[in-house]
Amino acid sequence: MAQREQASLTEQLAGYWSRVRFEDLPEPVVAATKRVLLDTLAVGVRGATAEVAQIALRGVVSALETDTGSARVWGTDRRLPPAAAALVNGTAAHAYEFDDYGGCGHSGAVVVPAVCAVADRVGADGRQVIVALAAGYDLAARVTEGAGGYRAHNDLGWHSTGTCGTFGAAAGAACVLGLDAARFTAALGIAGSYAGGTWAFLADGAMTKRFHPGRAAENGVSAALFAEAGLVGPRYILDAAWGGFYSTYARETARPEQTVQGLGSDFRIFATGTKPYPCCRGLHSSIEALLDLMQQERIEADAIERMVVHGADRTVRQFRNYKVETVLDGQFSLPYALAVVADRGQATMDEFFPLQTDRGRVREMMERVEVLADRTLGPADEPDLEVFGRAGQVWRRHVTQPRGAPGRPLDAAFLAHKHATTATPVLGRERYDTLRRQIETLETVRDFRAVTALLTPA
């Protein structure tokens, strides 16, 4: 752990990002911020219609005893105080499990709501928003890497979107506010002091899975505002030997040096993946493998006898779920996902919302999907899929890197289709097209409120 006379990890992170200006960012970083912003806003306005987002909105209004404020609640005509809006919007962004992944797990659902809420409050310009998004994604990923990486941290039971994501939200909010290095450091220290979120939701499909990004976004906004007001947070929040984030949340797995490795040259926003399917990213390689086989081998659902996924212990722990009662259950169930894809030949929102478990063939086929822990998989490895036909055929497929991963990005046409079909049911086509054009030229936007004003229902 760091010694007291050394600059802390948070001081190094804040020292860099508090000085960055739009002109300092390479063009690919700027382009990446626009992609993640449109993706998050598209799924967020659609997610605002979800039950969990509406519950979060009611809960916030009840707790605060107010339904007014400076920050837009996406997909509605309402405004709330910035931290409260970040909570509701972060929940909405993750409500359909269609938001981006990588970094802290779901960086977009944490960072974008925080940045938008504070930008609404202060009337930030597009360039400030671009820098803030780059900073938030960078911090969220770097803290996760310092905790040992996504797998190591989550295997301990922590939900990194909530624990590590709160630092990214605070960084994004601090950038919008223009905090100097000392107050930026304080914002990170305050945020880390009450970071949280565990995987207990997986046992019963609880709604807190969707709530964690919102809470982290709220946490980050509040931390930045408190730091702006003068509250001092712990400078050694990450690296303190006792009570530090790493010594407490990642005692055996932490790699603190990773937190600042390549700072200012390796921008972690490039570690972001974009989802083609609205379910946990851990299912994507198996879904893609089945879709490929069905298309290439012309396999019909009735010709399938059984399917076997060969994975690791974590594959079984997270995804071998036959008791699918909630949407979250379905989005974390290999038996359900493979059964519904086999039945319907696609993996769109229609396969998960609502659940298709009342379809007899889906329920029956779920029982013929096996998930085995018979492989040794590294952090980046994907399971294998075997499909056995009724006539004795055996088809095998291994997807090394699923579509949408950072190393295999979705093409522009697919992204355009995803965003338009996700957002237009709420915004309408004209408003969505205007939103898209505004984001494409975000560096020319003088007041970001012109963008969030478009996030209201048609």
pTM, two decimals, is: 0.96
Domain ranges of the chain: 9-276+420-452, 281-398
pLDDT at 378: 86
Residue with the two structure tokens 């899929």: 385
Q: 365: which DSSP letter? A: H
Phi first, then psi: what are they for 447, rounded to 5°? -140, 115
Phi first, then psi: what are they for 161, rounded to 5°? -60, -40
Per-residue model confidence as pLDDT tens digits over 279-300: 999 999 999 999 999 999 999 9
pLDDT at 185: 98
Whether 3 has a pLDDT exceeding 80, the answer reads no
In this structure, are residues 41 and 129 in contact, taking their beta carbons and an 8 Å threshold?
A: no
**Span 315-320, mean pLDDT?**
96
The pLDDT mean for the chain works out to 96
Q: Give the model's confidence band at 1: pLDDT under 50 very low, under 70 low, under 90 confident, else very high.
A: very low
CATH number of 281-398: 3.30.1330.120
Assign domain 9-276+420-452 to its CATH architecture. Orthogonal Bundle (1.10)
Per-residue model confidence as pLDDT tens digits over 160-176: 999 999 999 999 999 99
Gap between the Cα atoms of 360 and 363, Å rounded: 5
193 Cβ contact partners less than 8 Å away, ≥ 6 residues apart:
233, 234, 237
pLDDT at 404: 98
| 178 backbone φψ class: left, alpha, beta (φ>0; ψ -120 to 50) | left
Element (H, E) at 305: strand 304-311
Whether 2 has a pLDDT exceeding 50, the answer reads no
Whether 427 has a pLDDT exceeding 90, the answer reads yes
Per-residue model confidence as pLDDT tens digits over 99-127: 999 999 999 999 999 999 999 999 999 99
Per-residue model confidence as pLDDT tens digits over 251-270: 999 999 999 999 999 999 99
